[in-house]
Amino acid sequence: MKKILCLTSHDLNARDYGPVLRNRYIFKKLSGLGEVRVVLGSRYPKVIETAKPSQGGFELLEKFYMPPMPGRALLKRILNILDPRCLDIEGWQATAADRKRLEKLMSEHDLVWVHGLDMANAFGIWRWPKTVLDVDDVPSAVYGFRLLQETTFSEKFKKYLKMILWRRNEKFLAKRFDAVCVCSELDRFELGARDNVFVLPNGFDQPQGNPIRTPASPPQIGFVGTFVYWANCDGVRWFIEKVWPLVLEKFPQAQLRLAGERGENLFSGKNIQALGWVPDMEKEMANWSLAIVPVLAGGGTRIKILEAFSRKCPVVSTPLGAYGHDVEDEEDLLIADSPREFAENCLRILKNPSEGERLAEYAWNKFLQNGTWDSRGNCIETIVRKICGETINLKSRETAVDVQIHSKKSERPAAASDAGAGTAKTEGSAPHVSVVVPAYNREHCVGNAVESVLAQTFKDFEIIAVDDGSSDGTAIVLEKFGTSVHLIRQENRGVSAARNAGIRAARGNWIAFLDSDDRWHPEKLERQLKALEKHSARICFTRCVNAQNEPLRDIEFVSATPHEPEIFCVPNAVDSVCLSPRHPMIQTMVAEKRILERVGLFDESFHAAEDAELIFRLSFLSGFIYIDRPLTTIFENSSNSLTYSKELGSMARRNQSYLRLLAHMYWRLADISPEKISVMRERLGYFISRRAEIACASGEQLVARALARDGIFFAGSFRDFARCAGILLVPGFVRARAQKKWPV
């Protein structure tokens, strides 16, 4: 049986709160995979003194007190801060003797599970072998939000410095530990989305039966959470001062019930009942009309939301309170940013209880599907198997794949040897190339696009047109082409879903894409397939022009080899795609169907940049060749485009997609070519600042401030820095200007 050593800074016999609940469940699940023993480490003497030999049913093997570090000379403190391997960020460390004792215990176990990055750093150990780090709160994010709450310059500076130090420390986590766990995809994204960073979401115990609710009269609004935690205190204080008076104006008899340790010592006021620790929260919450999650700072994901979902209690939350959860505003809960909007959402449920019941029912069903602790078990087993049964490659798995252009023809389908230019395919035989044409409300132009394909000098192809829920005559135009076009009709799901539907229906070994308002030059396919065959390549792009026949900028080669006039081979595609400010046009691409399937097709969650994101993933699997001759005409975006819109919400989604892509590129490039990330950093800073400005214009103040915080860190130009600083310092002015640019 495997021996598993679990380190935590929380007494597992303490009253229920987030980290304790998480640790208990994970350790319980680990006990099904091996013999679990617990090590307790804390900077609080009382925690060490009162700890019992049995921690949540597990043997307490050792406990360590971590005293505050003694004051240091100014020069030594500065040198410590400048050291990229600095671990003493919080100012408390284990003694050298305790570190040696822990290292001995680690050597005697098959697996080590550590809860909390501050806990791991406190032992002063850089490389942790056979170890999983559970980061339920990303420290840099926590300090970033605390920075926004401070009012004095000295406190802002302290929080800013801590945020910078933690962020630098977090960049090394994937190399220091064999595996890292976080609570949400967003936190995984914060840590670079590396392959050994796993999402292990929080959960909550599933009730025995269907929860029975008996909302009290007068109505009760409740909050559950320990008030030992500063973020809960700040959030409830904000609610009492700015939201509660607005609720009492309409419902003067409403009651606010605060369930949590030490709340009775902190809060009082009109119709406010601080209950302290409540042993039976199921009975207490059954009387609430709604639960509030007014969280303004902190990290990880709030278990209190899952607890409310598990009891069928409607929830009103801030955006940060719902951070990291797979929830939808207006469907599972109500989300509000400002005090007035938060109060309006509370009143909405108080005035219309059936609305609350609807939200609670949706949330309950979602909780049963993926919110219980039992639904998290497979993730833990996968991580343990990776470490104990398989070796984790700390570098991205894509980087291990050969990015050179393949030279063995036997490894790839022939590009043009079996079906040359002008050769008609045999009736019923599979075509050599499948051309995918997505369309949405393009009856005025899709016919011309199809005609440009039919005019190709290379004839062994099929055309797959995907009508993505058009409301005009697009399908009628396509049907006129008869058997020359394979028409697929689907509900409107976006350009990525339309292209993926075409790829899945394709019979050819090679896939080409053409947008419904663009045109191919007659010799495009013939030239590309001959080049693919000649150079044993798997992906080919070409130059393109606009409607005025002016060359369009697409990619700037960082490392390319001219093999012959007009043809470049790009073996290091990752560099070219990441460092160039633009990417090759998807409308010019011909690629193996196998490589598209291997990379996972288009990501349908992207509202824009879906083509760049796919090309980025492809660049890790193969180089490409590039024909430096314009063989495609690209027309400008229009209001009927599948991806383009000037509406503010659409602009936000587009910008968010670009931001996701650039952040992914940044961290991948930091992994494999850290000396080259300055270019990517500047582009990322621009999109962060722009997304913050859009959030400010739409009134998402918490989101805008959080993005502006990151934008200052990544700003590559004074303009981007000024935009983010303005959002933090004079948000009203920035919002007024932004709303002129993008009317709400």
Domain 2-199 has CATH 1.10.3470: no
pLDDT of residue 674: 64
The long-range contacts involving 242-248, CB below 8 angstroms and separated by at least 24 positions, are: 242/339, 243/294, 243/339, 243/342, 243/343, 243/346, 244/269, 244/272, 246/339, 246/340, 246/343, 246/347, 247/221, 247/343, 247/346, 247/347, 247/350
**pLDDT over 70 (residue 416):** no
CATH of 220-371, one of 3.30.70.100, 3.40.50.2000, 3.40.50.620, 3.40.50.300: 3.40.50.2000
- Across the range 695-704, mean pLDDT stands at 80
- Each residue of 443-498: pLDDT tens digit? 999 999 999 999 999 999 999 999 999 999 999 999 999 999 999 999 988 899 99
Backbone angles phi, psi at 701, to 5 degrees: -65, -40
Name the band, by pLDDT with cuts 50, 70 and 90, for residue 561: low
Backbone angles phi, psi at 332, to 5 degrees: -100, -25
pLDDT of residue 648: 65
Q: Where in the chain is the domain with CATH 3.90.550.10?
A: 409-633
Return d(Cα 644, Cα 608) in angstroms, integer: 8
- Each residue of 68-105: pLDDT tens digit? 877 666 666 677 777 888 888 888 889 999 999 999 99
- Each residue of 229-258: pLDDT tens digit? 888 998 999 999 999 999 999 999 999 999
> Cβ distance 496 to 466 under 8 Å?
no
pLDDT of residue 97: 93
Name the band, by pLDDT with cuts 50, 70 and 90, for residue 315: very high
Q: How far is CA 428 from the centre of its chain?
A: 44
pLDDT of residue 309: 94
> Cβ distance 613 to 603 under 8 Å?
yes
Name the band, by pLDDT with cuts 50, 70 and 90, for residue 179: very high
pLDDT of residue 423: 41
Mean pLDDT for the chain overall: 83
Name the band, by pLDDT with cuts 50, 70 and 90, for residue 327: confident
- Each residue of 579-633: pLDDT tens digit? 776 778 899 999 999 999 888 888 887 877 888 888 888 888 888 888 988 999 9
**pLDDT over 70 (residue 412):** no
> Cβ distance 520 to 634 under 8 Å?
no
Q: Where in the chain is the domain with CATH 3.40.50.2000?
A: 220-371
- Each residue of 714-744: pLDDT tens digit? 777 788 888 888 887 778 888 888 777 766 5
Least confident of 177-186, 397-406, 585-594: 397-406
- Across the range 316-333, mean pLDDT stands at 85
**pLDDT over 60 (residue 560):** no
Which CATH number is 409-633 given? 3.90.550.10
**pLDDT over 60 (residue 8):** yes
